[in-house]
């Protein structure tokens, strides 16, 4: 069965400090991995996906198949990064996303 | 592009009544839509997968007679909560799958509908 684990419910960092939001997954095949972000009172929106290998808002995530991880990183946190972050897995094609429980990032000025 | 809307954004109803929530893909065709439920400070829980022109596929533990899903067109899916009870109070979020490039395989999310059953 596919599963996404985000071990931290809450992560607080100071502005300018590095951020790493952890995500591990379990899936027997080759899934597609995503990070979604939900700012206060806004809808869920895609932050990045592993196949695009791009950096969005300074965030990057590398898929490590050996460790089955897809950690989200940013070298210098900003206050506007405070939000809920969800790691998600899409097994294939038209199948729905499987979400982790989410990590609330709080960036302290 | 790829905007998903939901209506209403919030609704309050009495116990025993039925509530319909609409989900529309505004600028793309969605052969598949997904309905999620989100409790306060919790993650999204998939309720069902809605395919245009066919019956929805419900996740284990979700009552199909209570949560009726209709996907009559490529841009509209509806979720009807029948005989609503206070425990059905939640945030309902729909998501549409856009298989077109360049956003291949991406799911786009609606803003959600907050249901409160008194």
Q: How far apart are the first and last CA of chain A?
A: 41
Residues of A in contact with B52 (CB under 8 A): none
Residue B3 contacts A, CB cutoff 8 Å: no
How far B106 CA lies from chain A's nearest CA (Å)? Answer: 8
Tens digit of pLDDT for each residue in B31-66? 889 999 998 878 889 999 988 888 899 999 999 999
C-alpha distances out from residue A13 to A71, B89, B99, Å:
16, 33, 37
Instruction: Reply yes or no on whether the pLDDT at A96 is more than 60.
Output: yes
Distance CA B51, CA B67 (A): 15
User: What value does the mean pLDDT of chain B take?
Assistant: 90
| CB proximity list for A53: less than 8 A, separation 6 or greater | none
Position B54 scores a pLDDT of: 84
Q: Which of residues 29-58 of B touch A (CB under 8 A)?
A: 31-32, 34, 42-44, 46, 49
Instruction: Quote the tokens at residue B60.
Output: 């284990």
How far B118 CA lies from chain A's nearest CA (Å)? Answer: 23
Tens digit of pLDDT for each residue in A3-33? 999 999 999 999 999 999 999 999 888 888 9
Pairing type for strands A72-74 and A98-99 reads unpaired
Specify the DSSP element, H or E, that contains A50.
none
Position A95 scores a pLDDT of: 81
Of all residues in chain B, the one with the smallest CA distance to A34 is B106
Residues of A in contact with B111 (CB under 8 A): 42-43
How far A69 CA lies from chain B's nearest CA (Å)? Answer: 19
Position B13 scores a pLDDT of: 95
Instruction: Reply yes or no on whether the pLDDT at B100 is more than 70.
Output: no
Position A50 scores a pLDDT of: 84
Residues of A in contact with B97 (CB under 8 A): 94
Which three-class secondary structure state does DSSP give residue A59? Answer: strand
Tens digit of pLDDT for each residue in A34-93? 999 999 888 888 899 887 777 789 999 988 989 999 999 999 999 999 999 999 998 876
Cα-trace Rg, chain A: 13
Of all residues in chain B, the one with the smallest CA distance to A32 is B105
Distance CA B79, CA B56 (A): 11
Instruction: Quote the tokens at residue B75.
Output: 């841009």
How far A96 CA lies from chain B's nearest CA (Å)? Answer: 7
Position A14 scores a pLDDT of: 97
Other CB atoms within a 10 A radius of the CB of residue A38 amount to: 21
């Amino acid at each position: 069965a596919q599963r996404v684990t985000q071990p931290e419910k809450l992560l607080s960092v100071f502005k300018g400090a590095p951020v790493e939001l952890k995500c591990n997954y379990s899936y027997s095949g080759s899934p597609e991995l995503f990070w979604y972000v939900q700012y206060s009172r806004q809808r869920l929106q895609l932050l990045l996906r592993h196949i695009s290998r791009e950096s969005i808002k300074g965030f990057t995530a590398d898929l490590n198949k050996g460790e089955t991880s897809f950690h989200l990183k940013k070298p210098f946190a900003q206050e506007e990064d405070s939000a809920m972050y969800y790691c998600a897995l899409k097994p294939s094609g038209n199948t729905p996303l499987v979400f982790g429980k989410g990590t609330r990032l709080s960036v302290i000025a | 592009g790829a905007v998903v809307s939901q209506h209403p954004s919030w609704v309050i109803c009495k116990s025993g009544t039925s509530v319909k929530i609409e989900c529309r893909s505004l600028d793309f065709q969605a052969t598949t839509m997904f309905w999620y439920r989100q409790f306060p400070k919790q993650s999204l829980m998939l309720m069902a997968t809605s395919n245009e022109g066919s019956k929805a596929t419900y996740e284990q533990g979700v009552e199909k007679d209570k949560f009726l899903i209709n996907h009559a067109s490529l841009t509209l899916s509806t979720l009807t909560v029948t005989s609503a009870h206070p425990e059905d109070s939640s945030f309902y979020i729909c998501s549409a799958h856009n298989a077109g490039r360049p956003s291949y395989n991406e799911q786009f999310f609606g803003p959600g509908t907050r249901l409160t059953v008194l």
